[in-house]
Amino acid sequence: MTITITAFERSPDGGKGLARDTRVRWALEEVGQPYQVRLVSFAAMKEPAHLARHPFGQIPTYEEGNLALFETWSIVLHLAERHAGLLPDDANPRARAITWMFAAINTVEPPILDLTTAKILEGDRPWATERLPLVVDRIRDRLNQLSARLGDADWLDGAFSAGDLMMVSVLLRLRMSGILDEYPNLAAYVARGEARPAYKRAFEAQLAVNTR
């Protein structure tokens, strides 16, 4: 059955791969599933046809036969559960890999998203310069903990998994800030993710859209 995902017609990051369709593309590449992409403009995302796919008018979405999904983690989990390559077979390691997926989006990503809000959306507010260091401190708190847990390991829990796919994707959002470089093991972890052939294919595919 044909898989169709949605992505920005023009990503605000100009092709740095930070929009969440890259996470879905990466998962699809890891599990070797071909896919098509429906590109949507910001205006089209808020129209009924797209709202039927995504109630919040965002990307990415996923369609396969009569199944339509939204929320990146749910799409990645769907793929990981149905195809080999992103989750261990044994129940306990599998549950731990899924835990890392949620840790990425629920525990590590929120302060990272706050940084974008603080810098871009709230950067001109009178209190912005006071707030920014607090936001950065909250990111460092999480990275200190993550760095300690990762240690010298290549991946978070044994072999590469959907948990690493989500965590690397989340950490990539920090690269421009320079904060990631304060944690050499996390910077190396992200580089290992980016070096995966599946990531490279996903990155190139989104770049091609954004540099047309």
Ligand X SMILES: N[C@@H](CCC(=O)N[C@@H](CS)C(=O)NCC(=O)O)C(=O)O
Of 27, 37, 59, 103, the one binding ligand X by CB under 6 A: 59
CB-nearest residue to ligand X: 58
Indicate whether 25 belongs to the interface with ligand X (CB under 6 A). Answer: no
Q: Nearer to ligand X by C-beta: 5 or 45?
A: 45
Q: Which residue has the tokens 């010298």?
A: 152
Give the residue, chosen from 37, 58, 111, 162, that forms a contact with ligand X under the rule CB under 6 A. 58
Query: What part of residues 132-191 is at the interface with ligand X (CB under 6 A)?
Result: none
In the complex with ligand X, the residue whose CB is nearer, 59 or 135, is: 59
**Closer residue to ligand X, CB minimum distance, 48 or 151:** 48
- Contacting range for ligand X; rule: CB under 6 A; set: 57-65, 94-102, 159-167, 185-193: 57-65
Establish if 19 lies at the interface with ligand X (CB under 6 A): yes
Rule CB under 6 A: say whether 20 interacts with ligand X.
yes
Q: Which two tokens stand for residue 33?
A: 């599933």
The answer to the question of residue 71 lying near ligand X (CB under 6 A) is yes
Decide if residue 72 touches ligand X (CB under 6 A): yes
Concatenated DSSP letters of the chain: --EEEEEESS-TTSSSS-STHHHHHHHHHHTT---EEEEE-HHHHTSHHHHTT-TTS-S-EEEETTEEEESHHHHHHHHHHHSTTSS-SSHHHHHHHHHHHHIIIIIIHHHHHHHHIIIIISTTSTTHHHHHHHHHHHHHHHHHHHHHHHTT-SSSSSS--HHHHHHHHHHHTTGGGTGGGG-HHHHHHHHHHHTSHHHHHHHHHHHHHHT-
The footprint of ligand X on residues 81-140 (CB under 6 A) is: none
Contacting residues toward ligand X, per CB under 6 A: 19-20, 45, 57-59, 71-72
